[in-house]
Amino acid sequence: MSEAAMTENPAKVSKKEIKAEAMKRRICAAVVACLDELGYAETSINRIQERAGVSRGALTHHFPTKQALVAETAMRMLHAAMRPMHEDKKGGQVRPAVPAEQLLNNSWKHIVNKAEGRAFVEVIVACRTDRRLYDVLADDLQQWDADSSSAISALYRGSDDAEDDAALLWSISRTFFRGLLTHERFVSDPAYLARMMDRFAGIMDAHLIVRG
């Protein structure tokens, strides 16, 4: 049973499934730490096993390959990131929009530039060259992109007259986030990165406009 299914139907979850889910969470947490600290290329089954403190058999029972393990971890991160949006839709409510400058700064500080955010960027970059990982994640990542763009378009409009301008601006912003994480390794002064983020958010604020 998936994590989402367990959340939606807690009464139907067996003790065996609860134990298996706890093991998966432990292993996936180790994947996040390894991806954040070491990067995708240096994240190996052995290192994940050591970080999680589990046996090789326990790990491969749930995840037979590195790609399967990384893909499961990525989907858990995506599900967590998109959960507020899905909960709003389910309740028939729309989350109030904040100015784009605040949205972007909050996204950078509280989502992107955290262990999970940095780990997710490692996965995205790895999909470019690891065909097996890409094949596992491609459909889900495309759906995530569509859901994310749809959520933004419901709350914001772009300064251009094009119908998809808000979604386009959001895609540009996410691309900037990924680039800033990469650039961070070459900047000695953290304050300079903060200035870059503030400057970018200020520029985008004039183009990504809260719907009235």
Q: What is the DSSP string of 48-90?
A: HHHHHT--HHHHHHH-SSHHHHHHHHHHHHHHHHHHHHHHHHH
* pLDDT recorded at residue 10: 55
Condensed to tens digits (0 to 9), the pLDDT of residues 34-76 reads 999 999 999 999 999 999 999 999 899 899 999 999 999 999 9
Average pLDDT value for residue range 18-33:
94
First to last CA, the chain: 42
Average pLDDT value for residue range 125-148:
93
Kindly list the structural domains of the chain, giving each domain's residue range(s) and its CATH number in brackets, ordered by start: 3-210 (1.10.357.10)
* pLDDT recorded at residue 96: 72
Condensed to tens digits (0 to 9), the pLDDT of residues 144-202 reads 999 999 999 999 999 998 999 999 999 999 999 999 999 988 888 889 999 999 999 99
* pLDDT recorded at residue 1: 47
* pLDDT recorded at residue 43: 96
Cα–Cα distance, 94 to 53 (Å, whole number): 42
Within 13 Å, how many C-alpha atoms sit on residue 32's CB side?
A: 19
Q: How far is CA 190 from CA 39, 180, 198, in A?
A: 21, 12, 13
Which residues have C-beta within 8 Å of that of residue 86, sequence separation ≥ 6?
none
Query: What is the pTM assigned to this prediction?
Result: 0.83
- Phi/psi for 13 (5° steps) reads -85, 125
